[in-house]
A and B are shown apart, each in its own frame.
Chain A
Amino acid sequence: MATPHEEHTHAQRVSFYAKTLWVLMALLVVTVLAGFQKMPDWLGIAVALTIAVTKATIVIMNFMHVKFSSKLAWLFAGAGFFWLIIMFAFAFADYASRHWQPEQGW
Chain B
Amino acid sequence: MATTTVQTGTERVNYLNVRTTVASWLLTLDHKRIGILYLLGISFFFVLGGIAASLIRMELATPKGDLLSSDTYNKMFTLHGVIMIFLFLIPSIPASFGNFVLPMMIGARDVAFPRLNLLSWYFFMVGGLLAIIATVKGGIDTGWTFYTPYSSAFAKGEVSLAIVGVFLVGFSSIFTGINFLVTIHKMRAPGMTWFRLPLFVWAMYATSLIQVLGTPVVAITLLLVAVERSFGIGIFDPNRGGDPILFQHLFWFYSHPAVYIMILPAMGVISEVIATFSRRRVFGYHFVAFSSLAIAIIGFLVWGHHMFSTGQSIYAGVVFSFLTFLVAIPSAIKTFNWMATIWKGRVHWEAPMVYALGFLGLFVIGGLTGLHLASLATNVHLTDTYFVVAHFHYVMVGGAIMGYLAALHYWWPKMTGKMYPQSWAKLSALLVFVGFNLTFFPQFILGYMGMPRRYHSYPEEWWALNLLSSAGSSILAVGYLLPAIYLLWSLKYGRIAEKNPWGARGLEWEVVDTLPHPHNFERVPIVTRPAYDYDHPEEPTAIFPTPRPAYVGGGKDG
Q: Is B47 an interface residue (CB 8 A)?
A: no
Q: How far is the CB of A7 from chain B (nearest CB, A)?
A: 14
Give the shortest distance, in Å, between A34 (CB) and chain B (any CB): 29
Query: Closest residue to B249 on the A side, CB-wise?
Result: A91
User: What are the interface flags for B287-328 relative to A under an 8 Å C-beta threshold, 1 for contact and 0 otherwise?
Assistant: 000000000000011011000000011111001000000000
Nearest opposing residue in chain B for A91, CB measure: B249
Q: How far is the CB of B40 from chain A (nearest CB, A)?
A: 33
Contact with A along B516-558 (1 / 0, CB 8 A): 0000000000000000000000000000000000000001111
- At the interface, yes or no: A6 with Cβ under 8 Å from chain B? no
Given A79-B213, A90-B304, A94-B312, check contact A70 B556 (CB 8 Å). yes
A28 to B167, CA, bound (A): 36
Interface residues of A, CB < 8 Å — how many?
Answer: 17
Contact call A93/B319, Cβ cutoff below 8 A: yes
Is A100's CB under 8 angstroms from B313's CB?
yes
Answer yes or no: B372 CB below 8 A from chain A CBs.
no
**CB proximity to B under 8 Å, residues A75-91:** 79-80, 83, 86-87, 90-91
Which residues of B have CB within 8 Å of A93? 313, 315-316, 319
Which of B185, B301, B319 lies in contact with A86, CB distance below 8 A? Answer: B301
Q: Flag if B301 contacts A94 (CB, 8 Å).
A: no
Decide if A90 touches B301 in the complex (CB within 8 Å): yes
A15 contacts the other chain (Cβ, under 8 Å)?
Answer: no
What is the predominant secondary structure among interface residues of chain A facing chain B? helix
Given contacts A72-B185, A83-B300, A94 and B313 within 8 Å (CB-CB): yes
Residues of B within 8 A of A95 (CB): 313
- Binary contact readout A59-79 vs B (1 if CB under 8 angstroms, 0 otherwise): 000000000001110000001
Size bracket, chain B contacts: 20 to 34
Checking B301, B313, B558 against A98 with a beta-carbon cut-off of 8 angstroms, the contacting residue is B313
For residue A104, CB closer than 8 A to chain B, the reply is no
Interface hits, A40-75 → B, CB 8 Å: 70-72
Min CB–CB distance B552 → chain A (angstroms)? 13
The answer, yes or no, to whether B253 is at the interface (CB within 8 Å) is yes
Looking across the interface, which residue of chain A has its beta carbon closest to that of B254?
A87
Instruction: Let me know if A87 and B253 touch, CB within 8 A.
Output: yes
- Min CB distance B52 to A, Å, is 32
- Nearest B residue (CB) for A80: B213
Known: A71-B557, A72-B185, A83-B213. A97 touches B313 (CB 8 A): yes
Q: B29 to nearest A CB, angstroms?
A: 25
Distance in angstroms between the alpha carbons of A90 and B307 in the assembled complex: 13
Residue of A nearest to B246 (CB): A91
Flag if A72 contacts B557 (CB, 8 Å): yes
Taking the complex as formed, is B427 at the interface, i.e. its CB lies under 8 A from any CB of chain A? no
A74: shortest Cβ distance to chain B, in Å?
10
Tell whether B133 is near chain A: CB-to-CB under 8 Å: no
Chain A hits for B250, CB < 8 A? 91
Chain B residues, CB < 8 A from A79: 213
User: Which B residues are CB-close (under 8 A) to A71?
Assistant: 556-557
B245 within 8 A of A: yes
Complex CA distance for A95 and B185, rounded to whole angstroms: 39
Please tell me if the beta carbons of A70 and B557 are within 8 angstroms of each other in the complex: yes
A99–B334 Cα distance when bound, in Å, is: 40
Are A97 and B558 CB-contacts (below 8 A) given A83-B213, A87-B253? Answer: no
Q: How far is the CB of A77 from chain B (nearest CB, A)?
A: 13
- Bound CA span A86–B214, Å: 12
> Does A100 contact B556, Cβ atoms closer than 8 Å?
no
- Say which residue of A83, A94, A100 sits within 8 Å of B245 (CB atoms): A94
A33–B557 Cα gap in the complex (Å)? Answer: 42
Write out, one digit per residue, whether chain B residues 213-240 have a CB within 8 A of any chain A CB (1) or not (0).
1000100000000000000000000000
Contacts of B314 in A (CB 8 A): 102
Chain A residues with CB under 8 Å of B217's CB are 87
Measured CB to CB, the closest approach of chain A to B277, in angstroms, equals 36
CB contact between A90 and one of B213, B245, B316, B558 (< 8 Å): that residue:
B316
For the complex, what is the distance from the CA of A40 to the CA of B178, rounded to whole Å? 42
Q: Is the CB of B249 within 8 A of A94?
A: yes
Q: How far apart sit A81 and B93, CA to CA, in the bound complex (Å)? A: 29
Contact of A70 among B300, B315, B558 (CB under 8 A): B558
- For B185, B246, B316, B556, the residue with the greatest tally of chain A CB atoms inside 10 Å of its CB is B316
Q: A70-B556, A72-B557 are in contact. List 19 more A-B contacts (CB 8 A).
A: A70-B555, A71-B556, A71-B557, A72-B185, A72-B556, A79-B213, A86-B300, A87-B253, A90-B303, A90-B316, A91-B246, A91-B249, A93-B313, A93-B315, A94-B249, A94-B304, A95-B313, A98-B312, A100-B313
B→A interface (CB under 8 Å): 185, 213, 217, 245-246, 249-250, 253, 300-301, 303-304, 312-316, 319, 555-558
Closest 10 A/B residue pairs (Cβ): A94-B316, A97-B313, A97-B315, A70-B556, A98-B313, A91-B249, A83-B213, A94-B313, A71-B557, A94-B312
